[in-house]
Amino acid sequence: MIAILKYSAGNIKSVQNALTRLGYKSIITENPSELLNADKVIFPGVGEASSAIHYLKERGLDKTIISLKQPVLGICLGLHLMCRFSEEGGTKCLGIFDTDVRLFPPVDKIPHMGWNNCLTMKGDLFRDVTVDDDLYYVHSYYAEISSYTVATCDYIIPFSAAMQKGNFYATQFHPEKSAETGEKILKNFLEL
């Protein structure tokens, strides 16, 4: 069973719809034991960092997330929340990825919204995907490139399109909204 973390963020249903299209059953839950016992956990998100962290901490879900041993996929805000600190609301995050999340400098349109390709990519998530394939982004904050970065994208500056540390995976783009390329990436994660 795939568990999708339920919290104060939008876009959760979209993730479930995408899994259903791929033929996977999933539950949307904030129950710690359901999360701990799932085969895979997806940590989605569109929303604001400080209120999301507040919501997770209130329910003790912050501790649940960092203790997960199965493959976990953070998406967009989920990626930000898995980092150390986000400039959005000056938020101390979960610290899975020892790197920070910053606001794009206002030299071009913000949010970075639309389809963009990767500059580099490596690892399990990107099997059968190339740097020419576009993925859908919508975000104003980005994770700096670090030793956890497994894919990079460029908008205003190069940033982490995807990160990985052990069983924790995260994407800045929305695989559930990225047409066939996104489906390949989700499938790669689900088949880990």
Name residue 159's beta-bridge partners: 153
Whether 122 contacts 150, CB under 8 Å: yes
Among the listed residues 30, 76, 93, 153, the single catalytic one is 76
Could you give the CA distance from residue 84 to residue 44 in angstroms, rounded to a whole number? 17
Shortest distance in whole angstroms from residue 45 CB to another protein: 10
Residue 11 within binding range of another protein, rule CB under 8 A:
yes
Select the span of 11-19, 26-34, 62-70, 92-100 touching another protein (CB under 8 A).
11-19
Question: Is 87 among the residues that bind another protein (CB under 8 A)?
Answer: no
Tell me if residue 88 is catalytic: no
Given 100, 110, 124, 146, the residue binding another protein (CB under 8 A): 110
Q: Classify strands 100-103 and 141-143 as parallel, antiparallel or unpaired.
A: antiparallel
Q: Does the annotation mark 176 as catalytic?
A: yes
Determine whether 76 is an active site residue. yes
- The reply to whether 30 sits near another protein by the rule CB under 8 A is no
Query: Which residue is catalytic, options 80, 112, 139, 174?
Result: 174
Toward another protein, which CB reaches closer, 66 or 113? 113
Using the rule CB under 8 A, is 164 a contact of another protein? no
Question: HSE (CB half, 13 Å, CA atoms) of 172?
Answer: 34
The residues carrying an active-site annotation are: 76, 174, 176
Interface residues with another protein (CB under 8 A) are: 10-11, 13-14, 17-18, 20-21, 46-48, 106, 108-117, 134, 136, 138-140, 154-155, 174, 176-180, 182-183
